[in-house]
Amino acid sequence: MNAMSSFDPLATARAAKHRLFVARRSAAAASDAVAFRVRRRDALRRAAKGITLPPLPVAGRGEIWGIAMVRNEADVLEGTLTQLASQGVDRVLCVDNGSTDATRDVLASVGRDYPVIVGDDSWTAFEQSAKMTVLADAARRAGATWVLPFDADERWMGQGGSIADVLRSTAAPIVVAELVNAFPDPLQDGAWRLDPTAHHDPKMAFRPMRGTVIGMGNHRVMRPGDIVPGLGIVHLPWRSFEQFRSKVEHGSRALDAAELDADAGWHWRRLGAMDESELRAAWHGMLSGKKIPENAWQPGDVTVPFSVNGSIQWEDILKTRESRQAKRALNILTPRTNGRFPDERPR
């Protein structure tokens, strides 16, 4: 078969269109990154000054580094770090923002078996974008090949393999992580329910380069290059009322100390304006299926039982979705009633 007979004009046109799209997106991302570093240079300077890191090791060839800022995450952090280790993430760079619980103990404990570099963040303001960008810059200077910006309440995994398998097999510089949420079961202490619907705001891992900026909430990476799917996250935003209240109080205070637009962290601001009784009502209403406009993280119309203990694989999410789709096909999927969730079986 000669070259002319194998020529596919439609495929060629699609490839050219994709290259043009990538070029335009790359130019916009690079421009946004430069604008951010100019407009937010004072925040970046304060973030760099407030973060204290120990000497960083030189990264080995192909190393994947997770980066995070944490505060009072002792209840969930160990599972998150062990999940990253099981997925082939080589090292974690984590700064603590004045935790008053056992977060530092957890970091030290996990660090005995897994390379965890612990630093301190003394700036209380909720300048997450600036702080995570500073950490990404540090990982780049150390020689990391991939940077994975995570939160303590996220269990990351690869789709169709481990995180390491996915990242080391792609030529693209940015890989999207599809995000699904899990919430406490209101009818069974210690149990969880998964909302299998993908959240509208995914997250990303990326190959670091000079000038890259991480957006607010780690939902955007401002750097040139193609973006491909391949990762997944189970997000555990709320674990108990006490954690919910504490997170709201700290989040709203930290936002007040930051010089951000009014719509940045809007859910923290709105929840932070509630008193104790309003917060309790929001908590119980959320788990019972009531939509709370002030809350960015709440269950969808349908959730199903799910275990967050041990290592989580993306296949677990797919099986849950298949079960949900089967229930839809059988027409036994019903709304939550009287504060109860529809279960895997019709009641």
Domain ranges in the chain? Answer: 26-235, 241-329
Q: How confident is the model at residue 178 (pLDDT cuts 50, 70, 90)?
A: very high
| Count of Cβ atoms closer than 10 Å to residue 330 Cβ | 9
d(CA 288, CA 284): 6
Per mean pLDDT, which range of 111-120, 169-178, 248-257, 284-293 is the poorest? 248-257
- Res. 267: pLDDT tops 80: no
Q: How confident is the model at residue 151 (pLDDT cuts 50, 70, 90)?
A: very high
- Res. 346: pLDDT tops 70: no
Q: How confident is the model at residue 7 (pLDDT cuts 50, 70, 90)?
A: confident
* Cα 224 → chain centroid: 21
Look over the chain and give the mean of its residue pLDDT values, rounded to a whole number.
Answer: 88
Rounded average pLDDT over 173-189:
95
| pLDDT value at residue 288 | 86
| pLDDT value at residue 261 | 63
| pLDDT value at residue 249 | 85
Per mean pLDDT, which range of 74-83, 226-235, 246-255, 332-341 is the poorest? 332-341
d(CA 238, CA 248): 10
Q: How confident is the model at residue 203 (pLDDT cuts 50, 70, 90)?
A: very high
pLDDT digits over 114-125, tens only? 999 999 999 988
Type and span of the H or E element at 250: helix 241-256
**Which stretches of 87-127 are DSSP H helices?**
103-111
d(CA 272, CA 100): 20
- Res. 78: pLDDT tops 60: yes
| pLDDT value at residue 2 | 56
Q: How confident is the model at residue 80 (pLDDT cuts 50, 70, 90)?
A: very high
The percent of the chain in helix, strand and coil, each rounded to the nearest 5, is 40, 20, 40
Per mean pLDDT, which range of 17-31, 58-72, 84-98 is the poorest? 17-31
| Count of Cβ atoms closer than 10 Å to residue 184 Cβ | 22
Which residues on neighbouring strands pair with residue 93, listed in sequence order? Answer: 67, 117
- Res. 206: pLDDT tops 80: yes
- Res. 194: pLDDT tops 60: yes
Give the residue from 213, 206, 211 showing the smallest Cα distance to 66.
206
pLDDT digits over 294-318, tens only? 888 889 888 999 999 999 999 999 9
Which percentage of the chain shows pLDDT scores above 70? Answer: 88
pTM: 0.86
pLDDT digits over 23-47, tens only? 898 999 999 999 999 999 999 999 9
**Which CATH entry fits the domain spanning 26-235: 3.40.50, 3.90.550, 1.10.3470, 3.30.70?**
3.90.550
Range with the largest mean pLDDT of 11-15, 22-26, 123-127, 207-211: 207-211
Q: Are 340 and 290 in contact (CB under 8 A)?
A: no
Q: Which two tokens stand for residue 325?
A: 């789709």
d(CA 194, CA 181): 6
Higher pLDDT, 45 or 259: 45
- Res. 280: pLDDT tops 80: yes
Which residues on neighbouring strands pair with residue 184, listed in sequence order? Answer: 192
Rounded average pLDDT over 210-230:
96
- Using DSSP's 3-state secondary structure scheme, residue 159 falls into coil
Q: Are 147 and 206 in contact (CB under 8 A)?
A: yes
Q: Are 68 and 149 in contact (CB under 8 A)?
A: yes
